Amino acid sequence: MSDQPKVKVATVWLGGCSGCHMSFLDLDERLVDLFKLVELTSSPITDLKEIPPVDVGIVEGAVCNEENAHVLKTLRKQSKILVALGDCAITGNVPALRNQKDLGEVLARGYIETESTCAGEVPNEVVPPLCAKVRPIQEFVKVDAFIPGCPPDADAIWYGLTELLAGRKPQWNPSNVRYD
C-alpha cells in the first residue's frame, strides 16, 4: 500500500431523486478499489451534520430550499474541488419541473387536493421553506467539474472520479453519458 495520504471526499444530496448516489453505489467492487485511494468523510448515509475540510466535494441534486443552499455553500467552502453529479445539479432537471407552476399551486395539489394524511393543509412543520424556483448549483457556487447524466452510470462516475484523482479534467462525449 502506498504511503500517499488518501484523498478526502464528501458527498451531499440536495433536492432530487437520489439516483446519482445509487449509481455511485453501483460501482460495486470498484468501490473497494476507490476506497484504497479515498476516504469518504461524509455522505447521505453517514448523516454527519458538519462537513469537514475535504479534497473533493461531490454534490447531487438542485437547490430547492434555503437549507440546500446552506449545505451547498458549506460544501464549496470545505472542498478544494467541487463536482456536480448528474443533471439535477447541472440544470435543475427533475426538481425544476415545479418551476413551471406557481409554488402555492404545487403545494396545494400535493397536499390539499390529493388524498393524504395531511388533513387538507400543507404540513409546514415538516416541509422546509421552499425557494420560489429550483435552481442548479452553479448559480450559487463555483463548480470545478461536472459528471453529466440522469443518472450518470457507474462507468461515467468511475471515469470522472479517476480522472479528477489523477489531476485531469474529465472530457465527456455522448458515448459516456446516459439518460434514463
| Domain presence at residue 103 | no
* Domain-embedded: residue 37: yes
pLDDT classification of 110: cutoffs 50, 70, 90: confident
Closest CA to 22 of 38, 33, 32, 11: 11
Q: Mind listing the pLDDT tens digit for each residue in 63-98? A: 999 999 999 999 999 999 999 998 889 899 888 888
Domain at 163, CATH number: 3.40.50.700
Residue 150 pLDDT: 86
11 touches 60 (CB < 8 A): yes
Burial 30-47 (b: 16+ CB within 10 A, else e): ebeebeeebebbbbeeee
Residue 35 is assigned to a structural domain of this protein: yes
Which pLDDT score, from 0 to 100, does residue 72 have?
95
Asked, for residue 113, whether it belongs to a domain, the answer is: no
Instruction: Name the residue range of residue 89's domain.
Output: 7-96+132-176
Q: What is the pLDDT, as a whole number, of residue 47?
A: 61
Q: What is the pTM of this model?
A: 0.83
**pLDDT (mean) for 111-135:** 78
